Amino acid sequence: MPLVSNHAQRTKLFQDLFRNYSGTAFAIRSADGWYWSSSQIDPPGCILVIKSTAAWRTLLENPTQRTLGEAFIDGDLDVEGDLFSIFPAIQHLLQQPGSFRYRILRTLWQSSTSLARCLRYGRQHSMARDRASISYHYDLPADFYRTWLGPTLAYSCAYFREPTECLECAQTNKLELICRKLGLRPNERFLDIGCGWGSLLLHAASRYGSKAYGITLSQEQAAVAAQRIAHAQLEDKCTVELRDYRTISDLPARFDKIASVGMFEHVGLKNLREYFNIALRMLSPGGLLLNHGIARSAAWALTPSKDSFMDEYVFPGGELATLGEVLEIAESVGFEVRDVENLRSHYEQTLRLWVDNLRKNARMVLDTVSERTYRVWLLYMAGSAYAFQQGNIELYQVLLARQPGQEIPALATREAWYQRWTTSASKAAIW
C-alpha cells in the first residue's frame, strides 16, 4: 500500500510541499486514480505518473537525483506531456528538508559505491578507470547515436546562427567556427583530443586541408571514425587512434593547432594542470588550443548535488570545474587566454532537439538499446537542458595561445570568425 493511502491526506501533503512553488504548473496522477494539480488556474505542462508503491516511497521518503532517476528509468515514475516542465517541480522537491536518517544512508551508499568502483577499476581518473568510464558512455552501437545526433554524428553543443536552423546545419556551424577560431591552414598538423566519431577531423581535412590526427578511448568511436575517413577518401589527411591524452607526449611530432571538444569534462579536477601542461608541450611555437567544454557556474559549484544520477548512470567520474578555475590553471602553466565565448543557450537548444529526436525515433532507438537505456538518455538530456536553462552549467569555448604576447594577426578581431558561409559549403561536411 502507498505510504499515504487516503486521497485527502495526499492532497494536503502535496499542497503543503508545494505551497510556495512558483514554477511551471504540473499535475500528479497515481495508479489508484488520485489526481492533484499544482495550480487551479493554469493547465499543467506535464503529469507526473506514479505507478507503484516503490515510486511513492521514493517520492516521499528518499527523493534524490539518483532515486528519482532510477524510478523513472525503471518505469515506476513516468512523465506525460512536456518532459522539460517537470524539472522545476523536482528541483523544488529536492530543496525541501530531508530526514537526518536518510542523509546518513545516502552518505554510506556513496562511500560504498566509491569503494566498489575503486576496487574494480582503480582510483578515480586513473587510465584504467577513465577507459572504463568512456567505454560505458560511448561504446553503445553507433546506430543508437545516429538516430538522434543525425548525419553529422557531432556529440557536443551545436552553434545556431539563426534560432530556427536545423540541428544538422547548427552542428556544421560549430565545426566551422572551431576551425575558424584556430585559423586552420592547409597542411597544418591538427590534433583533436577526444575526437568522437571523427566529425571535426573530417571537417578540418576536407575544408581546410589540415593533417588531422584524432584520439579517443572509445573503441566504437575509433572504428566508426576510421570508416568515415575511408568513405571520404581522406586517409592521406586523417588518422584516428585509440589513445589516452596522457600518452600523447610520446608522439615524435608537435601540432600547430589542437582542439578538445566535449572531452574536458572527463579529465577530473585534480588532473586539469596535467591536461593543460600536456597540451602546451604538444603545441609548436605559435600554436593554439581551442578548449570546448562544460563548466559549472561559480554559484552552483558551491553546492554540488549529492547522490548524483549522472555520476551513477551517465558520466561515471565526470567532474566540472568553474570557468575561473580553468582560466587560472591554463594561465599558470604558460598559456595566454585569447578569447572566451559562452554558448550556454546553444547547448540548451541542442539538447532539446536531441530529446525531440529520441522521442520521435523511439522505435528505431529501441531496436539498438534497451528501454531502460533509452529512458536513461532521455532523462539525462532533458535534465541537462534544464540545468543549462537555469545557468547552473555553461558551455565555454576558450581559445589559448602557447606563447603569451606573441602577435597573431588572425586573432586581432573576431570579425572573420562569424562571416556567413554558404549552405552548400556546410553540407560538404556531412559524411
Quote the pLDDT of residue 399. 97
Quote the pLDDT of residue 260. 97
Quote the pLDDT of residue 85. 92
33's CB contacts (< 8 A; 6+ apart) are: none
Q: Is 400 helix (H, G, I), strand (E, B) or coil?
A: strand
- What's the Cα-to-Cα distance from 139 to each of 81, 320, 381, rounded to whole Å? 31, 22, 18
- What's the Cα-to-Cα distance from 197 to each of 2, 212, 234, 245, 257, rounded to whole Å? 47, 13, 15, 16, 19
- CA-CA distance, 40 to 54, in Å (whole number)? 28
| Pair 10, 29: CB distance under 8 Å | no
Quote the pLDDT of residue 315. 60
pTM > 0.85: yes or no = no
Quote the pLDDT of residue 195. 95
* Beta strand 336-342 pairing with 46-50: unpaired
Residue 174, all three cell numbers: 560549430
Residue 192, all three cell numbers: 583533436
Q: Domain spans of the chain?
A: 7-94, 136-427
What is the CATH number assigned to the segment(s) 136-427? 3.40.50.150
| Pair 203, 176: CB distance under 8 Å | yes
Q: Kindly give the parts of the chain with pLDDT less than 50.
A: 1-2, 99-123, 129-130, 133-134, 303-304, 423-429
Q: How many helices (H) and strands (E) does the chain have?
A: 18, 11
- CA-CA distance, 177 to 207, in Å (whole number)? 12
Query: Which one is the CATH code of 7-94: 3.30.1050.10, 3.30.70.20, 3.90.1150.10, 1.10.286.10?
Result: 3.30.1050.10
Q: Where are the beta strands (DSSP E) in 251-316?
A: 255-261, 283-296
- CA-CA distance, 3 to 52, in Å (whole number)? 11
